[in-house]
Amino acid sequence: MHENLILEPTQRADACVIWLHGLGADRYDFLPVAEALQQVLHSTRFVLPQAPTRAVTINGGYAMPSWYDILAMSPARAINREQLEASAQQVIDLIEAQRDSGIDPARIILAGFSQGGAVVLHTAFLRWHGPLGGVLALSTYAPTFSDDMQLPASQQHIPVLCLHGRNDDVVLPAMGRAAHDHLQAQGVSVTWKDYPMSHEVLTEEIRDIALWLQSTLA
């Protein structure tokens, strides 16, 4: 198990962003983004966990950092649910550790890119029961959301920002939009924004994230 990458702010931490990387990446992937965001979020701690390395079926069984195995791509992602639940528990453990260190869960943001975003959405709305500061869903989808899910009032109050590339051919924009629409149908305050990009992160997007985090954590 790799150590979590933790960026302490210049001021005493009163908020935290837990940020999950995507398939095949590692905990250093969003380090430059976290460092840039801390320039304007002077009291926000960033925690960047590492996915375990495991065989990924759709990639020919090649072992890579993965929050869960993807068994098939269509018609919808077929995933290893047990591994997803274990990753969600890892996130819950991080939330509780931050809470125990003195950070109010209502000031804890869960962020995730691609597969990491799928874990974050599952954790925030189907596993964690209580307040959260918000969810950042980047170029991602929600394989565990369904039309018949019923969110408790506590989860309906979690603000969500969904960001996606219009040219994304890895996680199709329609998959991200479906996650957004599921949350919207549940009364969640969810915002959708797309960009002229593929499966990546743009400078403009990071600026929008900074503004959203400043507003959400104000």
Query: How many domains, the chain?
Result: 1
Tell whether 169 is covered by a domain. yes
Specify if 100 maps to a domain.
yes
pLDDT-above-70 percentage for the chain: 99
Is there a catalytic annotation at residue 199? yes
What would the pLDDT profile of 164-179 be if each residue is shown by its tens digit?
Answer: 999 999 999 999 999 9
What are the residues facing 137 on neighbouring strands? 112, 162
Burial letters 97-107, b for 16+ CB under 10 A, else e: ebeeeebeeeb
pLDDT tens by residue, 65-77: 999 999 998 767 7
DSSP 11: S
Integer angstrom CA distances of residue 168 from 11, 68, 101, 194, 211: 37, 21, 38, 10, 23
Catalytic residue among 114, 139, 164, 182: 114
Can you say how many angstroms the Cα of residue 113 is from the centroid of all Cα atoms in its chain? 6
Active site residue 114: yes
| Residue keyed to tokens 């960009």 | 195
Q: So what's the pLDDT on residue 42?
A: 96
Q: Which two tokens stand for residue 13?
A: 């931490």
Residue 44 lies in a domain: yes
Instruction: Flag whether 121 is in a domain.
Output: yes
Question: 122 catalytic, yes or no?
Answer: no
DSSP annotation of 42 reads T
> Is residue 2 predicted with pLDDT exceeding 80?
no
pLDDT of 54:
95
Of residues 21, 87, 168, 182, which has the active-site annotation? 168
Name the residue with tokens 């954790």: 123
Domain that holds residue 146: 5-50+83-216
- Residue 21, domain CATH: 3.40.50.1820
Q: What is the pLDDT of residue 73?
A: 82
Question: Do you find a cis peptide bond into 9, omega within 30 degrees of 0?
Answer: no
Burial of 67 (0-12, 13-18, 19+ CB in 10 A): buried
